[in-house]
Amino acid sequence: MADEGTPEVPRPGRPVRGSETGRPIMAALDLLGRRWALRVIWELHQGPAGFRELQRRCERMSSSVLSTRLEELTTARVVAGGDRYRLTPLGERLVRALLPLQEWSDAWDADLRE
């Protein structure tokens, strides 16, 4: 489904960009702080999708980057491929952890409108 080369995916327990400690939260911030990563997870929460459908949901996201992100998220066991891409139980749990963000973004909207 994707190249299994040497993809350099952040993992807890290993030093990542900006942290030698390997603290899980730092690995998570690295993984999720890559372009489109949060968005892909968010869109998959709306339901499983094939490659091209997922790309459409992300409004013209580059296919090459989508491919890379899917590989990273798959390695991280957040996403699983097969017939279509879908969130793993771990991925679902991540989305639940991210749900308060939607609420916050509405508050942010309200705040900036003042």
Partner DNA sequence: GACGAGTGCTTCGGTTTCCGAACCACTATG
Partner DNA sequence: CATAGTGGTTCGGAAACCGAAGCACTCGTC
Could you give the string, one character per residue 30-69, with x where binding to a copy of itself holds by CB under 8 A and - elsewhere?
Answer: --xxxxxxxx--x---------------xxxx--------
Per CB under 8 A, does 4 bind a copy of itself? no
Kindly tell me which of 1 and 101 has the beta carbon lying closer to a copy of itself: 101
Query: Which 8-state DSSP code applies to residue 80?
Result: E
Residue at token pair 């994707």: 2
**Other CB atoms within 10 Å distance of the CB of residue 103:** 9
The set of residues, in sequence order, having a beta carbon less than 8 Å from that of 27 and lying 6+ positions away, is 10, 11, 12, 13, 14, 16, 19
Residues that bind a copy of itself (CB under 8 A): 11-13, 18-20, 24-29, 32-39, 42, 58-61, 76-78, 90, 93-94, 96-98, 100-109, 111-113
